[in-house]
Structure 1
Amino acid sequence: MDVEFGWSNDQENRYHEALDATRAAFPADAVRESTYYTRKDWLQLGEIGMLGACLPTEFGGRGLGALDTARVVEAVGRGCPDTGLVFGAAAHTFACAMPIAAFASPAVKEQLLPELASGRLIAGNAMTEPEAGSDSSKLGLRTKPVSGGYLLNGTKSFVSNGPAADVYVAYGTTDPRAGFLGVTGIVVDRDTPGLSVSEPMAKMGLNSCPAGSITFTDCFVPDDRVLGGPGQGAAIFQHSMGWERACLFALYVGLLDRLVEQCVEFARERRQFGRRIAEFQSVANRIVDMKLRLESGRLLLYRACWEMDQGYPAVLAIALSKLAVSEGVLASATDAVRTFGGRGYLSADGIETVLRDAVPSTLFSGTSDIQRQLIAKEIGL
């Protein structure tokens, strides 16, 4: 089998168009540390094509596969200094819009997908609970079958986009005795009676993306809002996690690309002891390690997305990719602070912001420990 490491003209043009449009829409001073993204921001991401990159063309999407979608996300992650915004958009697309595109009824697809692709609606993924983080087989949210639909009772926490979202993809337990086979996925509108949303939580990083908890109290959702069918929620969630763990982390590849560029430029210009600090081996080696993490993570991510496009299970490739990119961006953000020295600790250059935005990458979409467990299982340990 031939191995091709190049991009077609269409792929190159798509990447650079997304990068240029992102830089124009979100200039370097666009980072918000005390406010959240706006509806205007969201609509701009829709115009750039990120929100609908992998959604079907008949619903306003671009119909791209995983690899081409990841390249668009990478470009936006590189061009936009507001990583919280890009993260919120990726979570919206991969954890919410994609399961709707793949498993919702035709009527729900027709109603929601064009709005999600354009940015006219914001979506939040309601899976995590106070007592169910990594173990998604023991969800406290109850989805009780009743005449014409389901009655939801329970609380979800850490819902990215939650306080801003118009619609949620929620997962709850329909049959507590069935484990994973008892989980059901449901699409819930924000204005559904019995649904309440908390104020945004104070967080360490990704500050422009609001996260909060959602409480369901005798919240009725009709049958046609079920994804797939009763008991299929766990499989649907894992399908969405494949897209999220692969394509979402392309934004961190883009961020790493920008970070390496910043460190190279700074090391060339900054002088100490009469020399550019780039000439000190300790500084140069640190930036070389950053570049190594960038390219290693990028290749693993591209391979994972390629395997998805080929229809392979891709479990091992996705776990390796997610682990490499998330741990790589955290280590490199720390190295960037060291490279910038005292300036890296200040807010002006955005380096400390990158570090805080990098930390949660090792936690969401399955922690690094979970990825290692998946890898160990896949290689036969």
Structure 2
Amino acid sequence: MNFEYDTDTAQMRDMVVNFARRDLSGPCEWDAADFRRRWQLAGKQGLAGATIPGEYGGSGLGAVAAAAMMEALGEGCADTGFAFSLAAHLFAAVMPIADFGTEEQRHRWLPGLCSGDLVAAHAITEPEAGSDALSLQTRAVRHGNGYVLDGEKCFVTNAPAADIFVVQACTDPDAGYFGLTTFVVEAGTAGLSVGPPYPKVGLRGSPTADVHFDGCVVTEEQVLGRPGAGASVFSSSMAWERTCLFAVYLGAMRRVIDGTVAYVNEREQFGAAVGSFQAVSHRIVDMTLRLESARLMLFRAAWGLDRGDRDEVAPALAKLAVSEAAVQTGLDAVQLHGGLGVVDGPAETLLRDALPSRIFSGTNEIQRNNIARALGLGARRRPVRRA
């Protein structure tokens, strides 16, 4: 085991922290023009296509290096919503094109997605199909040399800004796991429309909206992978997302913990810095313990992803550990800042931004179900006959 970055990864991490502090920490609210400005800057720094092979405009990073990059982005960029949008673009939408696309599809879309000229969104969740992803109501009906899409998607990250949509639709309602197909649909296609951005409690710098398909015609060349392989495409993207995307929260927790330590060492009550009080210092120790434990689990999952492991438990455990740690760290930071913790600032912002992390990428309850199933819990066994 090696717990240190190699020289290149360490240098990249320092560069990303400094770049994000300087150029990406805009207002933590959705602003279309500023979002696009920062997006293009991130693309020029290689963040938008970090894990994509160099021949398509990316940097070719593996999962461990990508997690280190996202951790640095979360630490340097105070707008966690923007960092989340960038990670969702890369891991949920761009990686599927790189992993499952044809050469023609890769050369058509990946260079712009890597450079920051294009924004991608992944559309799977529906009003009646959230955790039950195999019950999608959006239909793709064969029509001539293509398909016609009809249906509604909700909670689509980046939808108001997206140029490219990676869309999951049902092509065979009776085929179960093999009934879903993935399509790449360009913004502006007739029959595709995007609703207004949601007002959200957290991740406000990340634009989210509904996407509607009404007689939207796509060609066979827009099928990603093969017909019926949509569930495999989705599972692959979730392995990346549940691992590398959540590294953003590691960086955000580190930034808030460091700021909280500085605050409690300066704030005085009863003639002493409040950081000297055991109740305060022990709470910060617990915050650090949760962060470092979650970090080890996440990088263990990233290491497995680089090795080509098909383990679904490690990413699920990492997602659980990081999201629960982020919420509790936000609560602790608010408490330690006292009155300042409930006004606009890093502590309350982390708490708001952390709350959605227990829901997206598969709710934490679903992750626990998946882990329990992998452990063999709930499987019916034949009773043992005794002589």
Normalised by the size of structure 1, how large is the TM-score? 0.97
Bigger mean CA offset, 315-324 vs 36-45: 36-45
Amino acid in structure 2 at the alignment position of 1:268: N
Q: Which residue of 2 aligns with 1:362?
A: 358
2-structure distance, mates of 1:11, 1:164: 30
2-structure distance, mates of 1:4, 1:160: 35
Q: Which residue of 2 aligns with 1:31?
A: 27
1-structure distance, mates of 2:3, 2:58: 26
CA RMSD of aligned residues (A): 1.0
Q: Are residue 163 (structure 1) and residue 164 (structure 2) matched?
A: no
Q: Are residue 351 (structure 1) and residue 347 (structure 2) matched?
A: yes
Q: Percent identity?
A: 46
Shift of 1:180: 1.6
Q: Is the 8 Å Cα contact of residues 162 and 211 (structure 1) preserved in structure 2? A: yes
1-structure distance, mates of 2:5, 2:168: 38
Which of 251, 255, 260 lines up with 2:257 in the alignment?
Answer: 260
2-structure distance, mates of 1:33, 1:247: 23
SS of the residue corresponding to residue 181 of structure 1 reads helix
- 1:165-314 mapped onto 2 (5 Å cutoff): 165-314=162-311
2-structure distance, mates of 1:104, 1:11: 28
Q: Which residue of 2 aligns with 1:109?
A: 106
1-structure distance, mates of 2:330, 2:71: 17
Q: Is the 8 Å Cα contact of residues 256 and 346 (structure 2) preserved in structure 1? A: no
Q: Are residue 17 (structure 1) and residue 15 (structure 2) matched?
A: yes
Which of 359, 367, 370 lines up with 1:371 in the alignment?
Answer: 367
Shift of 1:375: 1.3
Shift of 1:314: 2.5
Q: Which residue of 1 aligns with 2:85?
A: 88
- 1:313-328 mapped onto 2 (5 Å cutoff): 313-328=310-325
Change (3 A) 1:13 1:107: same
Q: Which residue of 2 aligns with 1:122?
A: 119
Q: Is the 8 Å Cα contact of residues 30 and 206 (structure 2) preserved in structure 1? A: no
1-structure distance, mates of 2:16, 2:353: 22
Q: Are residue 144 (structure 1) and residue 122 (structure 2) matched?
A: no
1-structure distance, mates of 2:224, 2:233: 8
Amino acid in structure 2 at the alignment position of 1:336: A
Q: Are residue 133 (structure 1) and residue 130 (structure 2) matched?
A: yes
Residue by residue over 1:111-161, the C-alpha shift from the partner in whole angstroms, topping out at 9 and shown as x without a partner, is 110101111001111000000000000101001111111100000000000
2-structure distance, mates of 1:323, 1:32: 25
Q: Which residue of 1 aligns with 2:382?
A: none
Residue by residue over 1:27-84, the C-alpha shift from the partner in whole angstroms, topping out at 9 and shown as x without a partner, is 5xx2333635521110111122221110110011000111101111110110000001
SS of the residue corresponding to residue 134 of structure 2 reads coil
SS of the residue corresponding to residue 314 of structure 1 reads coil
SS of the residue corresponding to residue 338 of structure 1 reads helix
Gaps of 5+ in 2: 378-387
2-structure distance, mates of 1:353, 1:18: 21
Bigger mean CA offset, 18-27 vs 161-170: 18-27
2-structure distance, mates of 1:326, 1:39: 27
Q: Is the 8 Å Cα contact of residues 104 and 225 (structure 1) preserved in structure 2? A: no
Bigger mean CA offset, 9-18 vs 238-247: 9-18
1-structure distance, mates of 2:327, 2:196: 28
Residue by residue over 1:209-264, the C-alpha shift from the partner in whole angstroms, topping out at 9 and shown as x without a partner, is 11100110110000011011110000110000000000000000000111110111
2-structure distance, mates of 1:285, 1:379: 34
Q: Is the 8 Å Cα contact of residues 77 and 250 (structure 1) preserved in structure 2? A: yes
Amino acid in structure 2 at the alignment position of 1:352: E
Q: How many residues in Structure 1 have an aligned counterpart in Structure 2?
A: 376
Gaps of 5+ in 1: none
Q: Which residue of 2 aligns with 1:51?
A: 48
Q: Are residue 338 (structure 1) and residue 335 (structure 2) matched?
A: yes
SS of the residue corresponding to residue 256 of structure 1 reads helix
2-structure distance, mates of 1:99, 1:367: 21
Q: Is the 8 Å Cα contact of residues 30 and 207 (structure 2) preserved in structure 1? A: no
